C-alpha cells in the first residue's frame, strides 16, 4: 500500500472524512513559494512588525545585536518546523491525524481542541485588528462618522468589522486554492509597501541614520542590562511568537510536493525572510526616533505622521491584506481541521471553518468593550504555553518511537487491537508526559517567580514533553513491533 492510499473498508467512519484523508502526491500543488508565503504572511502582519520593532526598544541592546537574535530565532524555528512538517509531507495528513500516532485515535482530540480554542480566539481578535485598517481607509474618504458607538465600536468600525469577517469567509469558502493565491499576493505586497516606507523614512532621516543604528537603541535605555540574557530572551520571545504555527505545520506541508521544496520554503521564509524584515523594522524604528523624537512601533502611526493620503490608502489596503493573511494561516485553517477531527462523520473542513468564523465573530465584536478589559489574552497565552509539550511528544514519537514509520489505515481505525488505540483510544503515557511538562510551561506564564523564564517557556515545555514521553513509553519499538498483535 502506498503512503497516501487507504483501504476504505477498514477505516472507522467516525475517524474519517475526505478532508482528513491522506492527500496523494499526484494531487499536491504547493511548492517552496507557497511555504515561503505562509511565513511571509505570519511575519509581515501588523503584530509581527510591532513585535520586531518593540524588541529593538525593550532590551537596551545594540540594534545589530537585536537583529542577530531575531535571525537566530528564525533558524531555530526553521529546524523545528522541518521536523514537525516532514511527516505530513510524507503521508499527506494534517496535524490532528498525525497526533493520533502519539496521543491515540481518540486522545488526539485533546491537543487538537486546545489548539483549536487558541486559534478561534485569536481569529476573532485578528479579524478586529484587520478591520481597523479598513476603518482607516473608509475614514480617509468619508470621515469618522457621528461618534456614536455600540460595544465600543463606531458605526464605521462595525461596518469595517463585518466587511472583513465576510471577506475572510468568502475566501475560505472559495477553496484552499484561492487561499493559496491570496497568500501569494499578500506577502509580496506587504514587502513592497514596507520597503517603500523604509525608503521614505531613510530619505527624510538622512545619511547619518545607518551609522547611528548601532548605538541609538542602547542609549535609549538608562538601565544596565545583561547582554547575554537579553539576547536569548529576544530569541525565546520570537520562537514563542511562531509557536502556534510550529505545532500544526503539517496542516500546510500536506499540500507540498516534496520535502526538498518544504525545506527551501522554510529557509527562504524564516531565517532569510526574518533577516530582511527585521532590517526593515530596524531602519524604520531608528528613523522614527530621528525624525519624530520618539520611536514608533505601530506602522499605522508612522503612516499618519508621514501625512500622505496616497500612502494612507496603500498602507491601509496592505495592512488589511497582511493581517487577513496571517489570520487564515495561523488562526483559521488549523481550527477548521481540529473541529473536523472531533466529529469527522458530521463536520467537514468547510463546516469546521464556518463554526470557527461564527464563534470568532462574537470574540472580535466583544474585544474592545469586554474581552480586552478582563485579561482573557493572558488565559489564551497560558493555553499556548500548555500546547508546547505536544510538540515534543509528537516529534519524539515520530522520529524515536515510531522510527518515521506510520500505518495510515491504523490512524483511521478504532479497533481495540489497532496500533494507535492504546487504552480506549487514549495513550495515557502521552497524557502523563504532557501533564508533567505542562506544569512547568504554564508556570512560566502564571507564577511571578518564574516570569523571567517566560521567553523560554515554550522551548523548555516542548523539550520536557519529549523527554518525559521518551522515558515513560515502553519498549521504544518500531511500528512493526507494535503491530505484531494487530
Please, what are the domains in the chain?
Answer: 34-387 (1.10.4160.10)
Enter the pTM of the model: 0.83
Smallest CA-to-CA distance from 88 within 279, 253, 242, 211 is with 253
Q: Which of 155-164, 260-269, 353-362, 415-424 has maximum average pLDDT? A: 260-269
Percentage of residues in the chain with pLDDT exceeding 70? 86
For 99-117, the pLDDT digits (tens) are: 999 999 999 999 888 888 8
Exposed/middle/buried for residue 36 (C-beta within 10 Å: 0-12, 13-18, 19+): buried
Please give the Cα distance from 24 to 296 (Å, whole number).
Answer: 48
List all residues 6 or more positions away from 405 whose beta carbon is below 8 Å from its beta carbon: 478, 479, 480
The C-alpha cell at 245 is 504555527
Q: Which of 30-34, 107-111, 231-235, 465-469 has maximum average pLDDT? A: 465-469
Q: According to the model, what pLDDT value does residue 378 have?
A: 57
Please, what is the average pLDDT of the chain?
82
Exposed/middle/buried for residue 141 (C-beta within 10 Å: 0-12, 13-18, 19+): exposed
For 114-138, the pLDDT digits (tens) are: 888 888 888 888 888 888 878 878 8
| DSSP state at residue 402 | S
The C-alpha cell at 457 is 517557556
What SS3 string covers 57-80? Answer: HHCCCCHHHHHHHHHHHHHHHHHH
Does residue 305 register a pLDDT over 90?
A: no
216 touches 54 (CB < 8 A): no
Exposed/middle/buried for residue 471 (C-beta within 10 Å: 0-12, 13-18, 19+): exposed
Handedness of CA 96, 99, 105, 107 (dihedral sign): negative
453 touches 460 (CB < 8 A): yes
Please give the Cα distance from 243 to 388 (Å, whole number).
Answer: 8
**3 state SS of 305:** helix
Percentage of residues in the chain with pLDDT exceeding 90? 28
For 185-217, the pLDDT digits (tens) are: 777 777 777 788 788 878 887 776 776 665 555
Q: According to the model, what pLDDT value does residue 349 have?
A: 82
For 224-246, the pLDDT digits (tens) are: 567 888 888 888 888 877 877 89
CA 79 remoteness from chain centre: 15
Does residue 3 register a pLDDT over 50?
A: no
Smallest CA-to-CA distance from 457 within 239, 285, 269 is with 239
Amino acid at each position: 500500500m502506498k503512503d497516501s492510499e487507504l483501504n476504505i473498508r477498514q477505516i472507522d467512519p467516525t475517524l474519517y472524512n475526505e478532508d482528513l484523508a491522506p492527500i496523494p502526491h499526484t494531487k499536491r500543488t504547493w511548492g517552496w513559494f507557497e511555504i515561503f508565503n505562509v511565513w511571509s504572511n505570519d511575519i509581515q502582519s501588523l503584530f509581527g512588525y510591532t513585535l520586531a520593532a518593540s524588541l529593538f526598544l525593550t532590551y537596551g541592546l545594540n540594534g545589530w545585536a537585536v537583529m542577530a537574535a531575531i535571525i537566530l530565532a528564525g533558524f531555530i524555528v526553521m529546524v523545528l518546523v522541518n521536523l514537525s512538517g516532514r511527516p505530513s509531507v510524507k503521508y499527506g495528513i494534517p496535524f490532528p491525524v498525525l497526533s493520533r500516532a502519539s496521543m491515540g485515535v481518540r486522545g488526539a482530540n485533546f491537543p487538537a481542541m486546545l489548539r483549536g480554542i487558541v486559534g478561534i480566539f485569536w481569529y476573532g481578535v485578528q479579524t478586529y485588528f484587520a478591520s481597523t485598517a479598513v476603518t482607516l481607509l473608509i475614514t480617509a474618504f468619508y470621515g469618522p462618522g457621528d461618534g456614536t458607538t455600540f460595544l465600543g465600536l463606531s458605526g464605521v468600525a462595525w461596518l469595517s468589522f463585518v466587511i472583513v469577517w465576510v471577506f475572510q469567509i468568502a475566501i475560505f469558502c472559495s477553496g484552499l486554492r484561492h487561499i493559496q493565491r491570496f497568500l501569494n499576493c499578500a506577502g509580496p505586497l506587504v514587502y513592497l509597501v514596507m520597503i517603500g516606507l523604509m525608503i521614505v523614512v531613510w530619505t527624510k532621516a538622512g545619511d547619518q541614520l545607518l551609522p547611528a543604528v548601532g548605538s541609538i537603541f542602547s542609549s535609549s535605555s538608562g538601565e544596565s542590562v545583561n547582554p547575554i540574557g537579553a539576547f536569548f530572551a529576544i530569541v525565546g520571545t520570537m520562537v514563542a511568537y511562531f509557536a502556534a504555527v510550529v505545532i500544526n505545520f503539517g496542516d500546510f506541508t500536506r499540500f507540498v510536493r516534496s520535502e526538498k521544496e518544504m525545506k527551501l520554503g522554510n529557509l527562504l521564509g524564516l531565517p532569510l525572510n526574518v533577516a530582511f524584515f527585521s532590517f526593515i523594522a530596524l531602519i524604520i524604528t531608528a528613523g522614527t526616533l530621528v525624525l519624530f523624537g520618539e520611536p514608533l512601533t505601530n506602522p499605522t502611526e508612522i503612516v499618519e505622521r508621514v501625512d500622505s493620503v496616497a500612502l494612507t490608502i496603500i498602507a491601509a489596503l496592505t495592512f488589511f491584506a497582511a493581517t487577513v493573511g496571517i489570520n487564515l494561516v495561523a488562526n483559521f485553517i488549523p481550527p477548521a481541521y481540529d473541529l473536523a477531527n472531533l466529529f469527522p462523520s458530521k463536520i467537514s473542513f468547510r463546516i469546521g471553518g464556518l463554526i470557527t468564523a461564527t464563534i470568532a465573530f462574537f470574540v472580535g465584536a466583544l474585544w474592545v468593550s469586554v474581552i480586552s478589559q478582563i485579561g482573557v489574552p493572558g488565559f489564551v497565552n497560558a493555553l499556548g504555553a500548555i500546547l508546547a509539550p505536544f510538540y515534543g511528544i509528537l516529534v519524539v514519537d515520530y522520529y524515536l518511537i515510531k522510527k518515521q514509520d506510520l500505518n495510515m489505515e491504523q490512524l483511521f481505525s478504532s479497533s481495540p487491537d489497532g496500533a494507535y488505540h492504546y487504552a480506549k483510544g487514549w495513550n495515557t503515557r502521552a497524557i502523563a508526559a504532557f501533564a508533567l511538562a505542562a506544569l512547568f510551561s504554564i508556570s512560566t506564564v502564571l507564577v511571578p517567580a518564574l516570569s523571567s523564564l517566560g521567553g523560554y517557556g515554550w522551548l523548555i515545555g516542548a523539550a520536557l514533553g519529549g523527554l518525559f514521553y521518551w522515558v515513560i513509553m515502553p519498549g521504544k519499538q518500531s511500528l512493526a513491533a507494535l503491530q505484531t498483535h494487530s
